[in-house]
Amino acid sequence: MSRHIVVWLAFVCLAFAAGTLSGCFTDYSCTEIGCEGNLQCNASTGKCEALVRSCQPGSCPSGTVCNESTGICQSAGARCVDDSCPARQVCNAQTGFCEARSNCELDPCASAAEECDTLTGQCVPRSCADDSECPFSFYCAASGVCRSGCRVDEADACPDGEFCRAAVGEPIGQCREQCHADDDCPLGQQCEQTRDGSSCELEPPCAEDEDCRGQAVCRQNRCQPPPCTANADCAGDEVCDLATGTCVGGNCEEDIHAPNQTPDEAAELDPGSFAQLRLCPGKADWFSLRMRSSDAFELRLEHAPSADLDIFVWGPNGYLLAANQQTGPVTTLEVNSQVTQQVAVQIVGLDLDEETYDLEVTRNPDALFCRDDTSEENDHPGQPVVLPTDTSAPFEASLSVCGADEDWFVLPELQRDQGLVVARSEVTSQLVVELLTPDGYTYALAPPSAIEPDEIRLERLGAEGDYLLRVRDWLSRAGTYRLRTQVLAPFDCPDATAHNTAETAVQVPINAVQLYSFCPLEQAWEIDWLALTPAQQDGTLTAQVVAVGDLPDLDVVVFEQTVDGLERVRSAARTDQYYQVRLPVEAGESYLFRISANGVPGRIVDGVNYQVFYRYESSD
């Protein structure tokens, strides 16, 4: 290949580094093309770095060798450099791996880039003074040995049918096949396939830009790279007109808000009117606008009928919130905010002309908006309003929720034995109130109805920590409501432990349903003893205990009172919340029930009651 074709290809790749150009390779890793001089290859990044020596030959563990180029002990089969291989192995300059090698005086080196070291009998990289002493696809490195690669400025660095391709701006590349398709060739050339191979040749003469491939332009009847393909190709404040491949602008006098051509330079705006703003060719104007939760803004853009300006509004996370890309001398855009945030307003023109425009920013146009209450800003769980936790008096307030806005509240550091009531009233929308517990449960008041309750009541919380409240409208509409919260004193049973022995057992009437409380203590549940009326005649005792509250699994055991003391008879059979006993009895026998439970008391929502019923059936 001739030298001028290689050099021109390198120029094309450099000129289009900022864009995308088929045929220009991306950066090569140093694991492919090696490093110059006193540098080492970082295999993780693919970049050449300053050489740092830490290991010395002979100091590495068994099975590894010291790579003096990297200063690292590595496997004998790992990528090698020069003489970093163990005895009787040699570094293959083409593959970069240590390989077994017999005496090279008897078995000549396989690669023309190697030579025989008669002292060691091993093949080593060929010594060189310049590239001419190395074979094709190799160049003379600064270390004085032939290394795999080629110099892009040498015409004869590669075999016929190949040329030297390198990363943009790099002098060293790799020999690659000439071309497979037109896109492998620089602009102005096309790939010509022959029986013997392929090569990039000049394209036929052109008459206009449309005759050329891609972004090439027709100049003097030849397709050539355009003067620019990206703004970086232009000087100063000029921008690249991709339609013509020419640099335009550069003499635009900006307005008082400049510089504001990037999001980081956005000029802060308050609602109002701003006249005679100027948009320079190829540039965008950026403004910053603070929106509170439930805010509605209208942006109105007026400009010359010949101009085509668009408005975009971006959120702080980079998401597009709203846009208007319609044509016409007036462009308007409405945007609503569900949370308090700083948004970015982008004004951009489709034509590469200098444009003048007026901008009007209106907050809550036509006064159709929801007024925030005094609790704002409390739009997310990270900034809730702290509610009082005093058990002596409830908290109560009239509040409002705006559209998709949410109201968050917190009752901090509640204790597990305390209770809590959350109630709503005077609701004017489809309001949902949710109570989020620190142990991951959610209790909700659905939109108001004649059936659903308007109160969440936890008699005993069962978990200590912060309790969050979230209030939102089911249909994202604005509305008002009245919120009431009350922290209850620690749960208490008046008669707890009053019947915790057989001697203090409560007497249960026969043939009547009785309701009793099963009370939580500090770290356990109480024990209840129930005494049944003695049987009057022989027959069968049938009894049932029904759990009707937030009770744990009960252990219901039947005992008989004998002259020798209590004798365990049997445990009740359980089905769901029902505990049933059926056993034969004789006249005069006395029986007791012992009711207990294992575990630590938890949350109590529906009370801690159970029912007891029993009767005797005569055997006659």
- Range with the poorest average pLDDT among 6-20, 54-68, 139-153, 280-294: 6-20
Burial of 324 (0-12, 13-18, 19+ CB in 10 A): middle
Q: Which has more pLDDT, 64 or 287?
A: 287
Residue of 39, 11, 34 whose CA lies nearest to 23: 11
- Is 242 domain-assigned? no
In this prediction, residues 291-314 reach a mean pLDDT of 83
DSSP labels for 365-411?
A: GGG-SPPP-TT-S--STTSPEEPP--TTS-EEEEEEE-TT-EEEEEE
State yes or no: pLDDT of 247 exceeds 70.
Answer: yes
- Is 499 domain-assigned? no
**What percentage of the chain carries pLDDT values higher than 90?**
27
Q: Are 98 and 105 in contact (CB under 8 A)?
A: no
Q: Are 334 and 296 in contact (CB under 8 A)?
A: yes
Predicted TM-score (pTM) above 0.75 = no
- Is 245 domain-assigned? no
**Please, which residues have CB within 8 angstroms of residue 35's CB and are 6 or more apart in sequence?**
41, 48, 69
Is 149 found in the same domain as 288? Answer: no
Q: How confident is the model at residue 393 (pLDDT cuts 50, 70, 90)?
A: confident
Instruction: Output phi, psi for 513, to 5 deg.
Output: -80, 125
Range of the domain at 219: 189-224
State yes or no: pLDDT of 488 exceeds 90.
Answer: yes
Is 558 found in the same domain as 430? Answer: no
| Radius of gyration of the CA atoms of the chain, in A | 43
Q: Are 247 and 233 in contact (CB under 8 A)?
A: yes
Question: Which helix or strand (DSSP H or E) is residue 7 part of?
Answer: helix 3-15
Is 193 found in the same domain as 162? Answer: no
3-state class (DSSP) for residue 169: coil
Q: pLDDT value at position 610? A: 93
Domain boundary among 184, 199, 233: 184
**CATH label of the domain that carries residue 297:** 2.60.120.380
Burial of 333 (0-12, 13-18, 19+ CB in 10 A): buried
Is 543 found in the same domain as 476? Answer: no
Edge-to-edge strands, sheet with 578-585: 514-517, 609-618, 539-547, 578-585, 573-575
Is 128 found in the same domain as 14? Answer: yes
- Is 379 domain-assigned? no
Q: Which has more pLDDT, 183 or 294?
A: 183
Structure tokens at 617: 């059936």
Residues 327-339: tens digit of each pLDDT: 778 888 888 776 6
User: How do 284-291 and 267-269 pair as beta strands?
Assistant: parallel
Q: How confident is the model at residue 4 (pLDDT cuts 50, 70, 90)?
A: very low
Domain boundary among 224, 246, 280: 224
Domain boundary among 460, 488, 516: 488
How far is 407 from 375, CA to CA, in rounded Å?
8
Distances (CA, A) of 46 to 25, 49, 78, 196, 620: 15, 10, 15, 35, 98
Is 108 found in the same domain as 80? Answer: yes
Residues 257-273: tens digit of each pLDDT: 888 888 998 998 888 88
Residues linked to residue 232 through DSSP beta bridges, in sequence order: none
- Range with the poorest average pLDDT among 221-225, 413-417, 440-444: 221-225
Tokens 């444009």 -> residue: 355
Is 607 found in the same domain as 478? Answer: no
- Is 243 domain-assigned? no
Residues 557-571: tens digit of each pLDDT: 999 999 999 999 999
- Range with the poorest average pLDDT among 145-159, 240-254, 598-612: 240-254
Is 60 found in the same domain as 154? Answer: yes
Is 153 found in the same domain as 38? Answer: yes
Task: List for the chain the helix, strand, coil content (%; round to 5).
Answer: 5, 45, 50
On the CB side of 369, CA atoms within 13 Å amount to: 21
- Is 604 domain-assigned? yes
- Is 250 domain-assigned? no
Q: pLDDT value at position 70? A: 55
Is 572 found in the same domain as 593? Answer: yes
How far is 377 from 388, CA to CA, in rounded Å?
18
The total domain count for the chain is 5
Residues 528-582: tens digit of each pLDDT: 999 999 999 999 999 999 998 788 899 999 999 999 999 999 999 999 889 999 9
Is 171 found in the same domain as 46? Answer: yes
Q: pLDDT value at position 515? A: 93
Structure tokens at 293: 């939760």
- Is 239 domain-assigned? no
Is 204 found in the same domain as 98? Answer: no
How far is 170 from 35, CA to CA, in rounded Å?
12
Q: Are 197 and 175 in contact (CB under 8 A)?
A: no
